[in-house]
A and B are shown apart, each in its own frame.
Chain A
Amino acid sequence: MRMLIALLALMLGAPAFAQPAFAQSALPPAPYADRQIDDPALEKKARTLMETIRCLTCQSQSIADSNASMAGDLRSQVRERIMKGEEPEHIRAWLIERYGDWVSYEPTAEPILWPLWAAPLVLLGLGLLLLRGRIKRGRRS
């Protein structure tokens, strides 16, 4: 049935609609999984970071919008570390060390990703080159 959900989700053009029940852990939920930090500035910082961390047990969702227990654990971790005064990028580095580059939706500056960042410039440049010959320049009739 999971395959069916996934296939359908594909067909519908929407991410899978729900987590299977076994993803909901029987353990008590992590304290800050669904609890905001009292200081709105810190909560905003945590929220911004959570939106760029991948939920590893979901299909293409960030931990900021997933029901999976793993996402809840990570949300709690992120909030607790932010409250201790850690910088978001430091937490990201810690998560990457633990789970690999895959956990971060924010592409890093590693050489393997350089083409990705160069792509917009290359595409725009190519487009302008193609365009150049098509337009009359400085000619008046």
Chain B
Amino acid sequence: MIAEAGLAALWLAASLALLQLALAAIGLAGGKSELLGAVRPVAVAQGGLTAVAFALLITLFLRSDMSVLLVVTNSHSMKPWLYKFAGTWGNHEGSMLLWVTVMGVAGAAVALFERALRRETHMATLGGQAAISLGFYAFLLFASNPFARIDPPAADGQGLNPLLQDPGLAFHPPTLYLGYVGLSVAFSFAVGALLTRQVDAAFARAMRPWVLGAWILLTLGITAGSYWAYYELGWGGWWFWDPVENASLMPWLAATALLHSVTVLATRDALRAWTVMLAVVAFSMSMVGTFLVRSGILTSVHAFAVDPERGTFILALLGIYIGGALALFGWRVGAVREGAPFELVSRETMLVVNNLLLSVILGLVLIGTLYPLLTEAFGHKVSVGAPYFDRIAGPIALALMIAMIVGPLTRWRRDRMREVTRRLAVPLVVGGLVFLTLAALAWGRIGILPFLGLVIALAVGVGSIAPLWKRNLRRTPLFTWGMVIAHLGCAVSLAGMACDSALTVEKLVAARPGDTVETAGWTLRFKQILPIAGDNWTALQADMEASRGGGEPVLIHPQSRFFASPPTTTTEAALLTRWNGQLYVVLGQEADEGRWQLRIWWKPFVTLIWFGGFLIALGGALALVGRERRGWLLKWRARKAVEAAA
């Protein structure tokens, strides 16, 4: 019954989405404004029903209902409950249902909590959100039904891949999806505003918290994913320019640009068309990234394509939504009046530079990711990877970091070059000193990008705090703190990347138990190797003692794990975190004469990469809370004033 109820909830939700779209369209276009009153309740009901459907699918997984095909193919009755739960979205159909649920719930939230938007734009936005949801409901119901039954029921399930039985599975994919799909709200706002021709500062202020929210979750999702790949893959890499990673990076780049342009629109009522365009692009990148990769077109190496019917369906959806939004943009952009032009030396110009550079990086990542596809069509297989992206996007990213120092120190409207230079003095001097020190110590020994990265990271570190200089810190608005902390996070992260790339020490050895290995100031004593067993794996575990500079030895246990079903070997790296870096030890294969391959890395300051990512998200959260609180306070004061007057 549960599966049938879930499917019914999904059908009902889809019908309500159709109703929501129809009510909004007829209400707005036909001038029947009495219909518009029903749009919000319908949106809330639709969101509620998707949540019910998703909760029912989770229930089926928790109960291990082996008459449901999806549970049979992706779960097992003996699995710990956390992985039964997280396994719900560890497959195509379940993750599509998560996508639709997030979209429905986000729409319900817009219906319930959005107060700043004008009524017509609000209704058009909800209509837009329903229109996008409809396509994905169709995809779910006609091509990826998660509630399909099998008859007779299976004895037990085939299990979730043991590799993914990591607490990360419970946190990382939902966070990323909330971010991806959260951007659909910005997309719907843009469509709604284009339809009602109301693109102005008030619109930007209404859209900003939704963009910020999605961006914070994307940032957290990407940071967590990078760390997961780092510790799970066992080679010490944290970013591979893999199409999958690029797929998550592209929406983030667009959302970051949007975040800054929406501030220009909110503050100065400028960049109207551009901001609307970015809102369309950001969610389009979510769709393109997720679905192009997922449809199996991008990485033709692996035969993981969903079946061709689904691929075609996805492409059609992409074409309809992105093409439709762009057509609407082209049709209505003439009606969107541009704001006043800028002075050359102004905060606005610096934010436009930010947008320009972010868009160029986004364009390059998109082109670089799709290019192999293009050449393959001409019968020529090429690879575009880290060497291209590092060399091309790296310098532009560094230029962006420099703009990040200048922007917050420049005034809105108009500033004087001399004043700006004066404010920049401290970061410039710090950058210069770091440059000279590094040049004296390590010239020619570290690559040019890590070298510049370190210089710019320290300059940005100082420059990011400079906006607080000579301010009363207790009266500084929370959103200014948010900006400072997010920018500081970029500097911290960049410093981590540069240190990892410039200072990592690698040691590959074949050692016998009893041997001692010395590297980068660490002494590792290889004590013994033992077979051990877990719930559904067996492993060879090395017991080692690591000590540095004659300090207290610490026990570490790198493992090589074997899973029987499916037959898989994984390495469980041993990570030893110190304030100034991480020791990363991997147990490899058995070599000749009783020796074992060991891979040992000392990675100075590598953890700064993810700590910086966390700071960026924290800064976003502070900005979100700061802006919202200010809005509440202003409203509260206005009400008090009205009451006092009455």
Contacts and interface: CB of A to CB of B under 8 A. Distances in A.
Given A60-B241, A102-B382, A123-B359, 7 more contacts: A4-B90, A12-B168, A59-B242, A60-B242, A104-B383, A105-B387, A116-B371
A101 B352 CA distance: 39
Contact of A120 (B232, B342, B392): B392
A106 interface: yes
Given A67-B571, A136-B341, A20 B566 contact: yes
Contacts of B173: 11-12
Contact of A15 (B229, B352, B592): B229
B244 A15 contact: yes
A34 B566 contact: no
Contact of A107 (B164, B364, B382): B382
Q: 6 closest Cβ contacts across the A-B interface?
A: A65-B235, A6-B304, A105-B385, A21-B567, A60-B242, A14-B229
Contacts of B222: 13
7 contacts: A10-B304, A14-B229, A15-B229, A17-B570, A34-B508, A61-B240, A131-B352
A120 B506 contact: no
A97 to B, nearest CB: 14
B91 A4 contact: yes
Given A14-B229, A20-B566, A124-B360, A116 B302 contact: no
Given A13-B225, A120-B396, A101 B380 contact: yes
B342 A134 contact: yes
A13 B599 contact: no
B164 A59 contact: no
A5 interface: yes
Contacts of A51: 386-387
B381 A102 contact: yes
Interface residues of A, number: 65
B294 A10 contact: yes
Contacts of B360: 120, 123-124, 127
B383 A15 contact: no
A64 B235 contact: yes
B507 interface: yes
B113 interface: no
Nearest to B567: A21
B429 interface: no
A17 B567 contact: no
Contacts of B510: 34-35
B161 interface: yes
B222 to A, nearest CB: 7
B368 interface: yes
A28 B91 CA distance: 37
Interface string A103-141: 111111000110110011001100110010111110000
Contact of A4 (B74, B232, B349, B591): B74
A13 B244 contact: yes
B368 A116 contact: yes
Interface residues of B, number: 89
A105 B384 contact: yes
Contacts of A54: 383, 385
A116 B367 contact: yes
A136 to B, nearest CB: 5
A34 B598 CA distance: 8
B448 interface: no
B92 A36 contact: no
Nearest to B599: A34
Contacts of B303: 2-3
Contact of A7 (B92, B163, B378, B599): B92
B453 interface: no
Interface in B3-52: none
A100 B242 contact: no
Contact of B221 (A4, A13, A24, A124): A13
A66 B235 contact: yes
A47 interface: yes
B547 interface: no
Nearest to B234: A67
A77 interface: no
B387 A20 contact: no
B589 interface: yes
A93 interface: no
B293 interface: yes
Interface string B458-479: 0000000000000000000000
B343 A36 contact: no
Interface string B349-375: 100100010011001100110010001
Interface in B292-313: 293-294, 299, 301-304, 306
Nearest to B561: A18
B221 A119 contact: no
A20 B382 contact: no
A105 B240 CA distance: 11
B568 interface: yes
Contacts of A67: 234, 569, 571
Given A12-B172, A127-B359, A59 B383 contact: no
Interface in B568-625: 568-571, 588-589, 591-592, 597, 599
A66 B369 CA distance: 21
A60 B385 contact: yes
A135 B344 contact: yes
Nearest to A36: B508
